[in-house]
A and B are shown apart, each in its own frame.
Chain A
């Protein structure tokens, strides 16, 4: 027997446990009932017609769910674009020919006086449709990483005409973005106020690392594509990531 002199809270918990157990027993019983009742023995007049009605109903609902999913997808795309623009607004990249000069010019200027710089030209939709890719299978002739920091997984791959953005996220919702851009006419600007800026080498190319608060950004080019990696990851991870990207054939 269960003691009768236990406190009320314990009794309440005990009662809840009994009700949960009873609920579980009820579910078991329903399932036994389902198993024991031979479904084929249940006769419905015009059951084929009834199946058709249900199938039609299911189809209508599937369309509704698809519609809701697409609406959510569109919202997510919009959110990703906004995030990307925010991240890009911390970066200056111009044409490959001018990139170093323009970047360093800005760097010098920003050290002296800039506090905030806006994007000059970064409308992601101007060159055509944006595709959200399920995986990296469609990234032939683009660069992909062979190293990704621990716990990070691909959250989204956005493909535009001359631009690929891969967004990574970890279980704690930290994210970083790997962007490669073959559009040499693009021009971005950045806010480097109070940022730490270093020159390093990535895959034999000169690169810049910008550390501002918790965001680290690496930018470099290989004469054909401008790369940047930016996000909330350690400096070591960013460097390792940059060194381990390769062209997917």
Chain B
């Protein structure tokens, strides 16, 4: 069963490798590194094959993209091509709104527009929300998938939630 799925994932991967390459290239701006990122994505997806139910589902494709993007960001950080754009620094540059559900007042209209609004969210933040709430990974599992520390996972997840709530509320400070 898993063997069959692995073969199907392989086929899917070969089909979408250029798209994944383009994602990695946009971040890394270097051909060889982008190729490395795609290869590393393949290995990571196969290693996490237990989380994948179907070959051609939107979840599987999104999973590939999320993995690829985050691997590219990690590669970027490691090579320190432009330290000013390192993810950790980006993380730190976003104000912490101290998300607390006690204080939330959410407009249903805002919620309805979420599909459009979430595009405004910093993508690694949207990725981590998807990994946690759609793919159902624990924080510990996310550390392995994204190759970041558990502390970083917690911080990124917290900031992702905070930023998301801010976006839902049209950029207003939380009440």
Name A residues whose Cβ lies closer than 8 Å to a Cβ of B: 1-2, 4, 8, 11-12, 14-16, 18-31, 33-34, 37, 39-40, 42, 44-45, 47, 50-51, 53-55, 57-58, 61-62, 65-66, 69
A-B pair number, CB within 8 angstroms: 141
Interface residues on B, range: 35 or more
Q: How many angstroms from the CA of A84 to the CA of B169 in the assembled complex?
A: 64
Q: Give every chain B residue within 8 A of A28 (Cβ-Cβ).
A: 58, 115
User: B17-31 CB contact bits vs A (8 Å, 1 = yes)?
Assistant: 111011000000001
Q: Which of B39, B102, B115, B134 contacts A29 (CB 8 A)?
A: B115
Binds A, one of B72-80, B87-95, B103-111, B143-151: B103-111
Q: Give every chain A residue within 8 A of B6 (Cβ-Cβ).
A: 61-62, 65
Q: Is the CB of B102 within 8 A of A8?
A: yes
Q: Is the CB of B164 within 8 A of A27?
A: no
Residue of A nearest to B131 (CB): A23
Q: Is the CB of B19 within 8 A of A37?
A: yes
Q: How many angstroms from the CA of A20 to the CA of B134 in the assembled complex?
A: 6
Selected A-B contacts with CB under 8 Å, 29 pairs: A1-B106, A1-B108, A8-B101, A8-B102, A11-B101, A11-B102, A12-B101, A15-B161, A18-B111, A19-B132, A22-B164, A23-B126, A26-B118, A26-B129, A26-B130, A26-B134, A27-B134, A28-B58, A30-B66, A33-B65, A34-B16, A39-B19, A42-B18, A54-B42, A57-B42, A61-B46, A62-B6, A69-B2, A69-B3
Interface SS, B side: helix
Interface SS, A side: helix
Q: Is the CB of A23 within 8 A of B104?
A: no
Q: Is the CB of B130 within 8 A of A23?
A: yes
Other than the given A23-B129, A42-B18, 7 more pairs (CB < 8 A) read A2-B104, A12-B101, A16-B133, A20-B133, A26-B62, A54-B38, A65-B3
Interface residues of B in 31-73 (CB under 8 A from A): 31, 35, 38-39, 42-43, 46, 58-59, 61-62, 65-66
Q: Is the CB of B102 within 8 A of A27?
A: no
Q: Is the CB of A44 within 8 A of B21?
A: yes
Minimum Cβ distance to chain A for residue B130 (Å): 4
